[in-house]
Amino acid sequence: MLKVEVGGYFVGKARSLEQAEDLVEAYMTWLDSTGKLDVQLAVGGVVLVPFVFKEAGRIVFEGEAKVETRRPVLRLVG
């Protein structure tokens, strides 16, 4: 199981990388739709929020979720 954290917050567990990516996208969409996304952090209309996928306490993947015009895009670094 992968532990999924976005912006330092635990958002859920996933059985695969695809499910983990879906959790990040859903969380970012929710943040944006509720107005809870800190748009003051935006640079050029883009907000970047760090995320990590962990397994047994070890980081498996890390990257940034990029939100522009209410559409989250994932960029994996690993």
Contact between residue 49 and residue 32 where contact means Cβ atoms under 8 Å apart: no
Model pLDDT, residue 26: 92
Name residue, tokens 């940034």: 64
Helix (H, G, I), strand (E, B), or coil: what is residue 42? coil
Model pLDDT, residue 58: 96
Name residue, tokens 């895009």: 73
Can you tell me the distance from the alpha carbon of 72 to that of 58, in angstroms, rounded to the nearest whole number?
25
Range of the domain at 60: 2-77
Looking at residues 62-70, what average pLDDT do you find?
Answer: 78
Quote the pTM value.
0.76
Domains in the chain, number: 1
pLDDT at 73 > cutoff 60 = no
